[in-house]
A and B are shown apart, each in its own frame.
Chain A
Amino acid sequence: MKRMANFVVIGHVDHGKSTLMGRLLCDMKVVDQRSLEKLRKEAGNIGKSSFALAWVMDQTREERSRGVTVDVATNHFETERTRFTILDAPGHRDFIPNMIAGASQADFAVLVIDASTNSFESGLKGQTKEHALLVRSMGVQRIVVAVNKMDTVSWSEERFKDISLQMSTFLTTTSFQAKNITFIPLAGLTGENVTKKVTDPKAKWYTGQTLVEALDTSEIAKRDVKKPLRLTINDVFRGGITNPVSISGRIQAGSVQIGDIILAMPSNETAAIKAIEVENEPVDWAVAGQIPTLHLADIDPVHLRSGDVACDPKNPIKLIKTFTSKILAFEHVLPMSVEVFRGRLQAEGKLKKLVATLNKTSGEIMKNKPRIVKPGEVARVVVELDRELPLEPGTRVVLREGGNTIAAGLLEAN
């Protein structure tokens, strides 16, 4: 069987994430020429012909009329070695919760950067850095940096080097390892260096991989197939007339097969799995790392919400209200109200206590009861949630407040 990988596409708003993915799908023959022509025509009708490729991913009315991605779009394609699932995340800062939901399902990340003058710089101030920090703190190790829109700077090697240098300095400080970072100059709109090598004579200096090659050679992290089932529900919907209740989401650990009984937390209701789909194809089973759709029976949809966890009834996940977590602060952290994110889950809570600041690498206590945790510092804190939620030690969470990501955390055993 082919190996499977999920990757999330991240980057600042309008840097061309959706367009790049649209191009990738067209060139991989997932989207046929006729559908593309139809989109071109529709986009041309409202005077946004350059958005046609992005519309492959952006399908809702809102997204099309405003020209921004709002929610994560999933799509699939395969190479000779690997079957890929694309998670196209929104870049706009208001939709970072959606981006977090997408990133939590990914094995690695593609960071799209606009190479044109000023765009790169404004992205650095905007979501480029925040997104990179977020995916790293959610456990993504491997990052492919797609330096997009190279055609607008006439494939300038200097510009590419400059961006690569700035970004790799930043990425290594956020503890991405140098060997896990790849830079690729490309043009999403025209498709150079996406699936086929660039032909422009001005780009003769680049002899490296194309985007697809880089993706194909990316190592994927090990998966916990043997552990008890944990699936974070990303979406609850009506799968069709025969499947009134369906859920989808990434399996973090364990496996499922048709006929299994699952337990939904926090509602504590069981359901039977009637059918499983992976990449829109019916299958008999699914394992950790995949993002299946499960068609359920014997459960009312009111007991399922996105953000809930489906788990093994014999090894259920516990509901907790307070947890201790190690955090890496991105902003100043005080005891305050925070929003806790875990995948699609978004909950209100309070940062109750700053227990201690810790040494970054050894984890030794540096100062007990700090008054404030400064950006870049690692600390141990206690968070109290407004309601009980399914969380367990080892879970990665993101803490946000007022539209800013203030810290990323790793739950510790209580």
Chain B
Amino acid sequence: MRLLKSQIDQKHGSGFATFLPEEPEDMWHAYNLIQPTDLIRAKALRRVQKTSDSGSVSSERVKIDLTIAVTSTDFDIGSGQLHVAGRVAVENEYVKLGGHHTLDLELNRRFTLEKVDGWDSVALEMLKEACDTQRKAELWAVVMGEGIANICLITEHQTILRQRVEVAVPRKRRGGIDGHDKGMEKFFWTTLSTLLRQMDLSSAAASTQPEKTVPLLIASPGFVATSFLAYIKAEATRTTNKPLLALLPTILVAHSSSPHVHSLAEVLASSVITTKLSDTKYARETALMDKFNTYIRLDDGRAWYGPREVERAVEKGAVGRGGGVLLISNALFRANDVVERKRWVGLVDRVRDVEGGEVRVLSSLHESGQRLEALGNVAAILTFPLEDLDEEDDEEEEVAEAPVVEEEDMII
């Protein structure tokens, strides 16, 4: 995203910024930046009805600059469209103050964002990240198994499931091996054609940046990925499809434990891939989540998850200098409730500025963010062990007698 103009007061955080989204990913940033109660100004198309003196009604579509106070946002991950609903905040000749309008933010259309309560530290951090112009890593991934393939686009901040392919492949059975082979052939064919449609190679090749071939990662349990690569190679030579042939050297094959999207996390953490994608946010976040998981397995009280537990840990000063890490999902900052957002911004500020710990804001659209989501969107690695942060009032934890597992069957 290009930052065209910004007037933000460093001290109070009041002010506005004007952006120009240039890539689909920028819409995701915009979605994270725009909060309810913010003022947003953009070009809008609005149908205006006019009643003339004689009573006849005419309606026309007018292009106007509209400022609205945001009430809600809606982001479509698949198409990368962002709709911002709100009420008109600055009146003009066509619309009244307080009239409802939904702005569709589009690529290459500028918009201005002003925060009523000022830009807080998290918002400023997001702004910086959004306008980082460094070339971003991008990767197509196909996670597949026999008869099922998930085609995903992985970018710096999001993992987008573009399409899921499911083809019924008959199992092997006595005397009917043909069915299985034919089924696999059909499955590969469907997957490849879907993938090519998604990647849109021909238009990419026609564009002016030939150096920008996006690498492709194929992962599967067993041998499906290797067989699929062999199929792509055969298909590329058979049809002499130039863009596809050009793609071949960039294809990476990796092992995943399942054909589901969430096993991408483990693929991207594997050494084959990290060497190629070393500095993506994704790899760093996955590593941190893994570290958290290791600590929690040790169960020594140095890793905690869940909103209340983490807040208590921060209060006690355990998420500070020397290894304290706060992991927080950006979903929490999108909270519609302003008080709720303040609560989390306050926590982040406290850890970063007062305690001196590390803060990582994980993208809820990435696998690591989704792992964090399962844990209540916030987790922390502490500098010293704390016990019983989760204790409530029920202390009647009975001491279990050594379970007698003899001839008696287990309950499960």
Contact = CB atoms under 8 A, between A and B. Distances in A.
Q: Do A and B come from one complex?
A: yes
B411 A326 contact: yes
A95 B375 contact: no
A350 B171 contact: no
B82 to A, nearest CB: 25
Contacts, number: 144
Interface stretch (A2-10, A201-209, A312-320, A369-377): A369-377
The 9 closest A-B pairs by CB, nearest first: A403-B257, A237-B170, A94-B221, A360-B403, A235-B171, A94-B222, A337-B262, A335-B374, A363-B411
Nearest to A75: B174
Contacts of A404: 257
Nearest to A410: B412
B222 A337 contact: no
A369 B223 CA distance: 41
A217 interface: no
A328 interface: yes
B296 A332 contact: yes
B390 A360 contact: no
Given A302-B168, A402-B258, 11 more contacts: A66-B223, A137-B412, A173-B405, A238-B179, A301-B168, A305-B166, A305-B168, A359-B403, A372-B296, A404-B257, A409-B412
Interface in A45-75: 59-63, 66, 70-75
A92 B172 contact: no
Contacts of B412: 137, 326-328, 378, 408-410
9 contacts: A74-B174, A94-B221, A97-B145, A235-B173, A326-B411, A371-B309, A400-B257, A403-B221, A404-B257
B266 A402 contact: yes
B173 A350 contact: no
Interface in A222-271: 234-238, 248
Contacts of B297: 332, 372
A334 B405 contact: no
Contacts of B404: 361
Contact of B371 (A327, A336, A360): A336
Contact of B375 (A334, A362, A409): A334
B299 interface: yes
A61 B172 CA distance: 11
B71 interface: no
Q: How large is the interface on A (under 10, 10 to 19, 20 to 34, 35 or more residues)?
A: 35 or more
A175 B299 contact: no
Interface stretch (B207-215, B311-319, B338-346, B394-402): B394-402
B187 to A, nearest CB: 13
B93 interface: no
B304 to A, nearest CB: 8
A74 B227 contact: no
Nearest to A360: B403
A195 interface: no
Please classify the interface of chain A as helix (H, G, I), strand (E, B), loop, or mixed, using the class held by over half of its residues. Answer: mixed
A237 B171 contact: yes
Given A237-B171, A326-B411, A361-B411, A70 B405 contact: no
A95 B221 contact: yes
B177 interface: yes
Interface string A284-308: 0000000000000000011011100
A301 B170 CA distance: 11
A350 B374 contact: yes
Contact of A60 (B180, B394, B408): B180
B402 to A, nearest CB: 10
B374 A336 contact: yes
A301 B400 CA distance: 53
Interface string B368-390: 00110011100000000000001
Contact of A306 (B168, B400, B405, B409): B168
A151 interface: no
Nearest to A239: B176
A90 to B, nearest CB: 9
Contacts of A367: 397
A408 B411 CA distance: 12
A351 interface: yes
Contact of A360 (B258, B299, B405): B405
B362 to A, nearest CB: 14
A360 B411 contact: yes
B400 A366 contact: yes
A111 B390 CA distance: 43
Contacts of B397: 366-367
Given A234-B171, A306-B171, A367-B397, A348 B411 contact: no
A358 interface: yes
A355 to B, nearest CB: 13
B257 A94 contact: yes
Contacts of B263: 402-403
Contacts of A62: 223, 227
Contact of B258 (A66, A306, A374, A403): A403
Contacts of B360: none
A374 to B, nearest CB: 7
Interface in B218-232: 221-223, 227
A368 B394 contact: yes
Contacts of B221: 94-95, 97, 403
B260 interface: yes
